[in-house]
Amino acid sequence: MSLNLDEKKAVVAEVSAQVAKAQAIIIAEYRGLGVGHMTQLRAKARQSGIYFRVLKNSLARRAVSDTPFSGLSEHMVGPLAYGIGSDPVAAAKVLHEFSKGNDKLVIKAGAMANHVISSSEIASLASLPSREELLAKLLGTMQAPVANFVRTLNEVPARFVRGLAAVRDQKESA
């Protein structure tokens, strides 16, 4: 189905708005992927907060021109789906995990922070823990010394009470 000029402008504006908020874009070739699999992938992407869309490459080039992701233009060849997200790790995980289970989806390239990344770098990015997991680990690391200090401070009066109890027990038995 071909789009008229107004519809094309609307699509470019919508995608440009998503790109403006994005931290990463990952492009994947979906040649031979069935409708059911594509629907599953869209649902997983939506759950992870990823904007996932199949676009004509000419419209995608217009949407990313004059952005930090403009380096992806040279990789925009063939039937491509675009995963656009504010969390680079989440976008990489969704597409990488799906491509492991379905060989018809081939990750071509990605971009983040003015840098084009290869499919192997995307696989490495997908193996990283999510932002929430990293923050939880950081918080646990920061809380550990404080928690140990509090336990040490609580041990002084507890030891004193145990000593008094031992003296009391000794006097009662004597």
The yes-or-no verdict on residue 159 having pLDDT over 70 is: yes
* CATH architecture of residue range(s) 5-128: 2-Layer Sandwich (3.30)
* Contacts (Cβ under 8 Å, ≥6 apart) of 38: 30, 54, 81
For CA atoms 48, 54, 59, 60, the dihedral sign is positive
**What is the per-residue pLDDT for 101?**
85
Mean pLDDT of 76-100: 90
90/51 Cα distance (integer angstroms) = 11
In the chain, % of residues over pLDDT 70: 99
* Contacts (Cβ under 8 Å, ≥6 apart) of 98: 40, 41, 44, 105
Place of tokens 């390239």: 109
CB 28 within 8 A of CB 107: yes
The yes-or-no verdict on residue 1 having pLDDT over 70 is: no
- Phi, psi torsion values for 32, nearest 5 degrees: 85, 0
What average pLDDT does the chain have?
A: 88
* Contacts (Cβ under 8 Å, ≥6 apart) of 45: 51, 52, 83, 94, 95
Q: Against a cut of 0.85, is the pTM above it?
A: no
pLDDT tens digits along 6-15:
898 898 899 9
In the chain, % of residues over pLDDT 90: 28
Q: Residue ranges of the domains in the chain?
A: 5-128, 130-174
For every residue of 7-33, DSSP letters joined together read: HHHHHHHHHHHHHHH-SEEEEEE-TT-
**What is the per-residue pLDDT for 103?**
85
pLDDT tens digits along 107-157:
999 998 888 999 889 998 888 887 788 889 888 888 888 888 888 888 888
* Contacts (Cβ under 8 Å, ≥6 apart) of 165: none
Confidence at 104, pLDDT banded by 50, 70, 90: confident
